[in-house]
Amino acid sequence: MRYIVFLVLFFGTSQAMAAFNIKQVAQGIYVHQGLIELPDVHNHDAIANIGFIVGEKCIAVVDSGGSPAQGEQLKAAIKKISSVPICYVINTHVHPDHIFGNSAFKNIKHIKYIGHKKLARAMAERGAFYIARSEEQVAIKLTADDIVAPTISVKNTLQLDLGGRILQLTAHPTAHTDNDLTVLDQKTNTIWLSDLLFIGHLPVLDGSLKGWLKEMDKLEKRQFDVVIPGHGPIVRDWPESMQAEKHYLQYLQKVIRYKIKQGIYLEDVMQTVDYPAKDQWQLFSDFHKKNLSSAYAELEWED
């Protein structure tokens, strides 16, 4: 696969110029791999895998990045590669590193924004918090205009014809979040799983542990040639590449259920539950306790 590197202006940041790397991971599918880091004033929330899919008549962006500046970088990269018009911006879920580049595409005539049926609500509920967080955590000042909600909502599935290329969009039940959307390119059998799959980066639970495991069970039974995670490198050994994430989530479920049955409170769980294979995960210490808390809150009320 070839690499294309663009040096484009990183608007509104302390850096004058920044490298924006794009890799073609399958025919007509391009990905910028985000950094496996916490968002901060140096990376400006450019931590998610984002990119685009080129058809004969249309281009679909899949996640736009963590800031309007990154969205501009992505748009500039697209123009360097193809003269085909951008028709769609698809958001895979609500997290800020995936949506705040949306406003960079607002000036494109007839652009359509697509997301899960619950995405607009999630954006409305979290928007003010995400805007405040961006200024405090990553030194980017945003406004309500940077929260660009979907104009097309996916209730179950939706097909997009890009011209010689059909994309199958699927709205999933609550898993990583309650608004997860995946994109399957039928032409190359490439699936954009986004944050339903983490590679290297510890999975982050913001939805339902049980729901996430159920979705993984369904996806594990399918065959894909190329899989694009939300964080970490692209993989081609599905379903083997999902096993580390699955084992971690299964471990959380098993251990926390046992602790709850034993009458052990969350505070003790947070202090005592580790993970034997934690060294395989980056950012483990940053997210593991959050995952314990989220999982405990869900499993505590099981029948």
Stronger pLDDT, 26 or 10, i.e. the higher one: 26
Would 265 be classed as within a structural domain?
Answer: no
Average pLDDT of the segment spanning 115-134: 97
Confirm whether 272 is domain-assigned: no
pLDDT at 177: 98
Domain that holds residue 113: 3-243
Above 80 in pLDDT, residue 12?
no
Taking only the tens place, the pLDDT of each residue in 228-265 is: 999 999 999 999 999 999 999 999 999 999 999 999 99
Q: What is the pLDDT of residue 206?
A: 98
- pTM exceeds cut of 0.85: yes
Tell me the β-bridge partners of 63.
Answer: none
* Count of beta carbons in the 10 Å neighbourhood of residue 60: 25
- The answer to whether the beta carbons of residues 99 and 123 sit under 8 Å apart is yes
Local confidence band at 13 (pLDDT 50, 70, 90 cut-offs): very low
Three-state SS at 286: helix
| Any domain includes 250 | no
pLDDT reading at 19 higher than 90: no
How far apart CA 63 and CA 115 sit, in angstroms, is: 10
- Phi and psi at residue 113, to the nearest 5°: -105, 135
Strands of the 226-231 sheet, one edge to the other: 157-161, 166-171, 181-185, 190-198, 226-231
- Tokens at 141, concatenated: 């000042």
Q: Is residue 274 part of a domain?
A: no
Whether 285 is in a domain gets the answer no
Does 14 map to a domain? yes
Task: DSSP for 220-265, please give it.
Answer: HTS--SEEEEEES--B-STTGGGHHHHHHHHHHHHHHHHHHHTT--
Count structural domains, the chain.
Answer: 1
Task: Write the CB contacts of 301 (distance below 8 Å, at least 6 apart in sequence).
Answer: none
Tell me the C-alpha distance between 119 and 94, whole Å: 6
Residue 127 domain flag? yes
Is a pLDDT exceeding 80 seen at residue 16?
A: no
DSSP reduced 3-state for 3: strand
Q: What is the CATH number of the domain that holds 36?
A: 3.60.15.10
Distance of CA 211 to the CA centre of its chain: 17
Closest CA to 206 of 64, 70, 97, 89: 97
8 burial (CB, 10 Å; 0-12 / 13-18 / 19+) is: middle
